[in-house]
């Protein structure tokens, strides 16, 4: 039997990797993927708690988190494409002027 | 206590952590994207271990099969290359990695110290199979469905409006400004 | 059933199912060449064995002995992994497809299905969604304009028609009440008025069946939706740079997808293994599988028939058709089914 804390530690590790990626990566798409990793870590935590407290609302909330993440990914990638068209770069350090 | 449950949890967990670390270590975004897909697949396995079969299926269909396809399309279209190291990224690595490592070790220690070894009650749900049909898991569509359409109806409808807004926003943002050609950029925004 | 016996039986079942599936893939290629040949007023393969029946074996040997060329500037890890991804996911969804009723051996009931999961249909949808990667990554890793465009077009097409595919299945789900494929087929037993079988296609899902048919042609990249891999268009699309065994893997993946889609159509719309059952106990055990295979064969024949008859769509016509016509029709079918079910 797997204790709840193991699931939480795994979720924490994934979240920490996501935060690290967000801080150290310079490519905007990689940063976005670290955000998705953070969301996945949190989803695992929700499902683990839903199993622990026998509350299915946790799983329903994971469903909503996934939907919101999908919507956010769509709009975020569209913004990235729009920014790439004008700035010609995907490196966040070079997108530092408000007007070209 | 070594049980099949623990072994499977460790296997999927190891794949997830390896994928997450690989996402950080790779310099080309396509490799990071593939590692993220591996993480999502491993997490779908973890959800199955916790009895959440509908959520596991939705994770594979929506997250690994649609959202990550969108990421991969964008990487291919924008021809993202290998990442360059700038001064900012060196500073961030120097302070960020030890900082996050310290923070996560602290949290892991706090969680493991304060909780007992009570098992996640998903254990009894993974019963032995009889005639090839496992016992109905609590996260099956028959149980999640009523919740979704009775107690959580309002959030459900609001998320559908959210998706509609996201579709319109993505199409508008990614379309070419001067002409109305529907090139590959529009497909990436779909 | 003790767990070790269950694992052993599952391994044996998986091996048999895989063997049968791979042989069917090879002979579907033969069937296509013969049928298209006859439709075009020529013979098709006739020399290798009687009626050309050993042609797939000859093709297999040819693929094994061809030179496996790896172009110099491809992105090697993905170049080698993409065909494997395509084949693995094409062969995975056969695990939840039931071929017939159960048989009893030594007191244990063994169903004709590798595993019956509660969410069988969702699993097949999931595998279809992930199968897009094989195509997209093959196109990108080949480092070739034509491959990239072909791969992107093919994957965009597959992703667009997946939605209509899923929606056409929801009508069936409303009528059967479960995602498990065995339950869906069991709900189609019996007859109306004594002789019309209670298959979903006669039970109101005729529009759903046609939406599924069209979406399936687009999902498997077959004519009339095969622009991304047509030789006259983009050289050969996403598998331009592949040779020998890797190309054979893409080929196998396409036909395995066709067979999976045909099996699914049989289960969901044509009543699965239901058909007249008669005779001694051995015949009774085998006849359901025979009816299942017969219906799958009819569906594959329609696939090949359409391939030999229709011209292909242009890409923008294809995408417009998928989003502006098929999706509203699938939604209308869903709403209609839901209204009738509530009534």
Q: What is the mean pLDDT of chain B?
A: 81
Q: A91: which DSSP letter?
A: B
pLDDT confidence of residue B71:
94
pLDDT confidence of residue C240:
77
- Residues B46-77 have pLDDT tens digits of 999 888 889 999 999 999 999 999 999 999 88
Q: For residue C97, which residues of chain B lie inside 8 Å, CB to CB?
A: none
- Contact C6/B132, CB-based, under 8 Å? yes
Q: For residue C12, which residues of chain B lie inside 8 Å, CB to CB?
A: none
- Contact B130/C130, CB-based, under 8 Å? no
SS3 breakdown of chain A: % helix, strand, coil, rounded to 5?
80, 5, 15
Q: B150: which DSSP letter?
A: T
Which chain B residues in 86-125 lie under 8 Å from chain C, judged by CB atoms? none
- Residues B128-171 have pLDDT tens digits of 444 444 556 778 888 888 888 999 999 999 999 999 999 999 99
Which segments within chain C are labelled E, that is strand? 100-105, 108-112, 191-192, 196-197
Q: For residue C111, which residues of chain B lie inside 8 Å, CB to CB?
A: 131-132
Q: For residue B128, which residues of chain C lie inside 8 Å, CB to CB?
A: 3
pLDDT confidence of residue C228:
74
- The domain ranges of chain B are 1-81, 152-190
The reported pTM is 0.89
- Residues B108-118 have pLDDT tens digits of 888 888 766 55
Cα atoms found within 13 Å of the Cα of residue C327, Cβ hemisphere only? 12
- Nearest chain B residue to C6 by CA: give it: B132
B132 vs C111, C130, C156: nearest CB: C111
Please name the residue ranges forming H helices in chain B: 4-25, 29-49, 53-58, 68-77, 87-114, 141-149, 153-174, 184-189
pLDDT band at B179 (very low <50, low <70, confident <90, very high): low
8 A C-beta contact, residue B150 and residue A78 = no
* pLDDT above 70 as % of chain B: 81
CA distances from C78 to B48, B113, C228 (A): 29, 43, 20
- C189's CB contacts (< 8 A; 6+ apart) are C198, C271, C274
Report the complex ipTM.
0.93
Tokens encoding C133: 């990667």
Q: For residue A10, which residues of chain B lie inside 8 Å, CB to CB?
A: 13, 16-17, 46
Distance (Å, rounded) from C-alpha C90 to C-alpha C261?
Answer: 10
CA C303, C309, C315, C316 torsion-angle sign: negative
Radius of gyration of chain B (CA): 21
Cis peptide before B56 (omega within 30 of 0): no
Residue that has been written with the tokens 């997946």 in this structure: C162
- Residues A85-96 have pLDDT tens digits of 888 888 888 888
| A38 pLDDT more than 90 | yes
Distance (Å, rounded) from C-alpha B29 to C-alpha B81?
Answer: 7
Of B60, B66, B7, give the one whose Cα is nearest residue B38: B60
Q: What is the pLDDT along chain C (343 residues), one digit of tens a residue?
A: 678 888 898 899 999 999 999 999 999 999 999 999 999 999 888 888 888 888 888 988 888 888 888 888 888 888 889 999 999 999 998 888 998 887 877 777 788 888 888 888 999 999 999 989 988 998 888 888 888 888 888 889 999 999 999 999 998 998 888 888 888 888 887 776 666 777 777 777 899 999 999 999 999 888 888 877 776 665 667 777 787 788 888 888 999 999 999 999 999 998 888 888 888 878 888 888 899 999 999 999 999 999 989 988 888 899 999 999 999 999 999 999 999 988 8
Q: In the structure, do chain B and chain C come into contact, i.e. share 3 or more CB pairs under 8 Å?
A: yes
Q: In the structure, do chain B and chain A come into contact, i.e. share 3 or more CB pairs under 8 Å?
A: yes
| B102 pLDDT more than 90 | no
Of C146, C130, C128, give the one whose Cα is nearest residue C212: C128
Pairing of strands C100-105, C191-192: unpaired
8 A C-beta contact, residue C158 and residue C103 = no
Residues β-bridged to residue B135: none
Pairing of strands C191-192, C196-197: antiparallel
| A45 pLDDT more than 90 | yes
- C142's CB contacts (< 8 A; 6+ apart) are C71, C74, C79, C148, C151, C238, C240, C241, C242
A52 vs B62, B120, B147: nearest CB: B120
- The domain ranges of chain C are 70-101+118-342
| Assigned architecture for domain B1-81 | Up-down Bundle (1.20)
Tokens encoding C156: 């965009």
| A8 pLDDT more than 80 | yes
Q: B128: which DSSP letter?
A: P
| Assigned architecture for domain A4-94 | Orthogonal Bundle (1.10)
Instruction: Report the gap between the CA of B17 and the closest CA in chain A (Å).
Output: 7
Distance (Å, rounded) from C-alpha A11 to C-alpha C254?
Answer: 38
Tokens encoding B158: 């609001």
- Contact C117/B53, CB-based, under 8 Å? yes
pLDDT confidence of residue B47:
93
């Amino acid at each position: 039997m797997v204790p709840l804390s193991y699931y939480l530690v795994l979720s924490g590790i994934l979240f920490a990797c996501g935060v690290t990626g967000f801080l150290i990566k310079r490519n905007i798409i990689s940063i976005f993927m670290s955000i998705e990793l953070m969301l996945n870590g949190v989803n695992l935590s929700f499902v683990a708690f839903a199993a622990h407290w026998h509350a299915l609302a946790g799983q329903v909330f994971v469903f909503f988190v996934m939907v919101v993440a999908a919507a956010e990914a769509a709009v975020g990638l569209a913004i990235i494409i729009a920014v790439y068209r004008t700035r010609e770069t995907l490196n966040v350090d070079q997108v530092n002027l408000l007007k070209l | 206590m070594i049980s099949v449950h623990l072994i499977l949890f460790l296997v999927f967990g190891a794949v997830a952590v390896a994928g997450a670390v690989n996402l950080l270590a790779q310099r080309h975004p396509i490799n990071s994207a593939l590692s993220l897909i591996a993480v999502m697949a491993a997490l779908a396995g973890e959800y199955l271990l916790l009895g959440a079969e509908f959520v596991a299926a939705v994770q594979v269909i929506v997250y690994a099969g649609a959202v990550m396809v969108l990421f991969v399309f964008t990487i291919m279209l924008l021809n993202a290359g290998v990442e360059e190291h700038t001064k900012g990224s060196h500073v961030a690595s120097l302070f960020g990695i030890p900082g996050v490592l310290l923070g996560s070790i602290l949290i892991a220690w706090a969680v493991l110290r304060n909780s007992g070894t009570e098992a996640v009650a998903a254990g009894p749900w993974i019963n032995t199979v009889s005639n090839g049909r496992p016992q109905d898991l609590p996260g099956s569509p028959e149980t999640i469905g009523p919740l979704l359409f009775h107690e959580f109806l309002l959030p459900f409808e609001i998320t559908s409006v959210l998706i509609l807004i996201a579709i319109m926003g993505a199409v508008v943002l990614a379309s070419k400004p001067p002409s109305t050609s529907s090139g590959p950029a529009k497909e990436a925004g779909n | 059933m003790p767990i070790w016996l269950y694992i052993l039986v599952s391994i044996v079942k998986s091996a048999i199912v895989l063997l049968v599936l791979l042989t069917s893939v090879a002979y579907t290629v033969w069937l296509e060449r013969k049928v298209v040949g006859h439709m075009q007023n020529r013979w098709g393969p006739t020399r290798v064995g009687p009626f050309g029946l050993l042609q797939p074996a000859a093709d297999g040997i040819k693929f094994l002995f061809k030179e496996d060329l790896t172009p110099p500037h491809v992105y090697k890890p993905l170049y080698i992994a993409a065909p494997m991804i395509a084949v693995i996911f094409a062969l995975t969804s056969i695990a939840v497809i039931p071929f017939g009723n159960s048989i009893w051996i030594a007191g244990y009931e063994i169903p004709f299905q590798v595993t019956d999961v509660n969410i069988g249909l969702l699993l097949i949808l999931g595998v279809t969604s992930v199968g897009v990667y094989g195509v997209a990554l093959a196109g990108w890793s080949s480092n070739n304009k034509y491959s990239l465009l072909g791969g992107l077009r093919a994957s965009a097409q597959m992703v667009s028609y997946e939605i209509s595919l899923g929606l056409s299945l929801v009508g069936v789900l409303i009528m059967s009440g479960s995602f498990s494929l065995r339950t869906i087929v069991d709900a189609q037993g019996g007859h109306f008025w004594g002789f019309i079988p209670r298959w979903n296609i006669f039970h109101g899902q005729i529009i759903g069946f046609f939406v599924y048919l069209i979406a399936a042609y687009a999902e498997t990249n077959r004519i009339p939706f095969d622009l991304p891999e047509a030789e006259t268009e983009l050289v050969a699309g996403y598998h331009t740079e592949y040779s020998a065994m890797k190309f054979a893997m893409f080929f196998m993946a396409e036909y395995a997808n066709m067979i999976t889609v045909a099996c699914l159509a049989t289960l969901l719309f044509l009543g699965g293994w239901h058909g007249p059952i008669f005779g001694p106990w051995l015949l009774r055990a085998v006849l359901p599988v025979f009816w299942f295979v017969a219906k799958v064969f009819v569906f594959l024949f329609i696939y090949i028939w359409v391939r030999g008859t229709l011209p292909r769509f242009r890409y923008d016509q294809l995408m417009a058709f998928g989003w502006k016509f098929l999706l509203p029709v699938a939604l209308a079918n869903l709403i209609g089914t839901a209204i009738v079910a509530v009534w």
